[in-house]
Amino acid sequence: MNAAGASLLSALGLCLVSALAGATAPRRVRPLLAGLGTACAGAAAAAAGVAALAGQSWSAWLPGVLPLAGARLALDPLGGMFVAVTGAVAVCAAVYGIGYAKHGVDGRVTQATLPLFLGAMLLVPVAASVSTLLVAWELMAVTSLLLVLAEHARRPAVAEAGLWYAVMTHLGFAAIVAGMAGFAAGAAGESFEQLRAATLSPAVRDAVFVATLAGFASKAGIVPLHVWLARAHPEAPSPVSALMSAAMVNMGVYGIVRVGLDLLRGGPSWWWLVVLAMGALSALFGILQAAVASDLKRLLGYSTTENMGLVLIGVGAAGFFASCGDKELAGLALVAALLHVVNHAGFKTLLFLAAGSVLRATGTRDLDALGGLRGRMPYTTALFAVGALAASALPPGNGFVSEWLLLQSLIHALPTSGVAGAVTMPPAVGVIALSAGLAIATFVKAFGVGFLARARTPAAGRAAESPPTMICGMALAAACCVALALAPAAVLPALSHLVAVLLPGHEAVGGVVTLRLADVQGTMSPLLIAAALAVAAALLLGSVRLVARRARRPARLWDCGAGPMTPRMEYTATSFAEPLQRVFDNVLAPESDLAVTPTKESAYLVESIHYRARIPDRIERRLYDPVLAAAASIGRGATRLANGSIHRYLAYGFYALTGVLLVLAVVW
């Protein structure tokens, strides 16, 4: 057995041991044992993924694990990338969770389920048969649902979030089952080798792709199947939120790439144009909702929808270019998409962990009630700033590199991609540019309103820094973000080699310090950009200090005659986003309600004014609310059929049996 297989089996074994420790260890040491075990499992998984990306492969068949076909496992470069990302996220979340458990989330169920959730996520990319994939997928769904419901006794909203998540994830699972079952039936076998060798009719191929796309897109939080994400991620404990948003949603991308580009070996252009359109809609809608959100974790949840949309733009563009015969641009687009998966995992882990640190210290996620955390939580503030810079796609953040590569693939496609490319690529470029601009505004709001200025509430004024283990978990994620930002060449060769296997051709990106694109004109050096920015900042700061030292005169700041500013005079998250809300008013469709209560003596004198503003999820309002209302109406109508009469129930049975016999008599 090679290093990849040994590391993977070690990771799965450590997950089981950690789950056992979380279920049986005394409360005093339970978080430490479960957290360290889970962190070690994540480290072993990351090592297995790196080994697979380096070229090692591993496979196993366990005939006694599952009935009929047994369990088939295989670790290849594509699965290795997602295993490595999941393991790295787990290390940060597990170390962080040791201290976070003292905040109250130290129950046996939670501590035992978290490593099982990690193990299930590791099994998904290494499943090598339909039945193994479906079992691992359902195990991932069930364990994550238990973790989402971990704090149901604290907040009523947790139960509603769990219900939405359970329904949406199992609807997605049903779509995956339908698609993969049809695929296996057409291939006369369920192993991935048999699926790759199958010859299916175009109609069956289309049906398989559409069904699996719907199921996997649901897990990735892609619009319009995203409604669970902005509920479940905020309500889950913060280490779980990090695992779900930075690792679990990636499995949806993995499924689309595995089925569409690997097992089905590509397809017609319209498949990938649909993927690209879904990605563009998700990117734009997600960042708009994040820009106007005042709940910090809800903001990050919608940011996940945006970033998964950017990834699907890359995947869709790669499939489209491959269907048009342009292997070079296809490889570049897919490299950009996979690199953004890695980058997003890094900064979203950091941001969710930092949001959990704020929640532990203040008891609130409401940005309007925060502020003043820079002085009381300096480490959390600095680490959140690193994540915010990365998520804003500005240099020298790591998100900038992958979005730059994605833009290069789309821009260079304009002269050669035909009519369909000429129509679709410019809007896709515009969506990426607009989402990047809105992301900057979103994270300026989150960081500026949440951490700077004065504390707006006593809870924010009493905030204290998080324990060392929580800081350590965030610092590990921040270190990954910095490494990916300054040295993306450390991972790009492996991703280019992986893409060259999926889309036969040469590697799309090369270079060590300066990234060079193959077959298209484009170079960029993240390290030199970072160095230039550092030098420019140092020169500017030095010049300002030199001038200030020569002509410094103390003076009271001008306050317009109003006296010293109070927290009530500062921007809140709501007021900061209000101009953006006005610009996109027709898209967001905000709701407001003004209730004026007059005095008893005179209608002209006002006793109180109550103003309420809300920006609902418009897709949820237009698409899901009518469906839920219709289902509720049908349910209320069906109650008339069950009035408690035994005679009516016997009549139902008689009529049903008679109807079946009549149908059989006519058919036979």
Nearest one of 415, 373, 392, 180 to 306, comparing CA atoms: 392
Nearest one of 174, 175, 184, 86 to 131, comparing CA atoms: 184
Mean pLDDT computed over 547-568: 70
Burial-class residue 154 by CB neighbours within 10 Å (0-12, 13-18, 19+).
exposed
Q: How confident is the model at residue 275 (pLDDT cuts 50, 70, 90)?
A: very high
- pLDDT at residue 637, as a whole number: 80
φ/ψ of residue 608, rounded to 5: -155, 155
Nearest one of 72, 69, 49, 44 to 59, comparing CA atoms: 72
pLDDT of 470 strictly over 90: yes
Mean pLDDT computed over 257-267: 92
- pLDDT at residue 586, as a whole number: 82
pTM (2 decimals)?
A: 0.91
> What does the domain layout of the chain look like in residue ranges?
1-193+207-250, 589-633
Percent of the chain exceeding pLDDT 70 equals: 96
Mean pLDDT computed over 529-543: 87
Q: What's the first-to-final CA gap in the chain, in angstroms?
A: 58
* Residue 207: HSE in the Cβ half-sphere, 13 Å Cα cutoff: 15
Residue 258: count other Cβ atoms within 10 Å of its Cβ. 24
Mean pLDDT computed over 579-601: 82
- Residues whose CB falls within 8 Å of the CB of residue 394, separated by 6 or more in sequence, listed in order: 400, 440
168, 227 contact by CB (below 8 A): yes
Mean pLDDT computed over 457-479: 92
Mean pLDDT (the chain, rounded): 88
Tell me the β-bridge partners of 510: 516
- pLDDT tens digits, 364-411: 899 988 988 998 899 999 999 999 999 998 888 888 999 999 998 898
Q: How confident is the model at residue 117 (pLDDT cuts 50, 70, 90)?
A: very high
User: Which tokens is 108 given?
Assistant: 């046996």
Q: How confident is the model at residue 198 (pLDDT cuts 50, 70, 90)?
A: confident
pLDDT of 328 strictly over 90: no
Please give the distance of CA 545 from its chain centroid, rounded to a whole number. 43
- pLDDT at residue 70, as a whole number: 85
Mean pLDDT computed over 146-169: 87
- pLDDT tens digits, 46-93: 999 999 998 898 999 888 788 877 889 999 999 999 999 999 999 999
- pLDDT tens digits, 600-630: 777 778 878 887 778 888 888 888 888 888 8
Please give the distance of CA 517 from its chain centroid, rounded to a whole number. 28
d(CA 367, CA 22): 34
224, 165 contact by CB (below 8 A): no
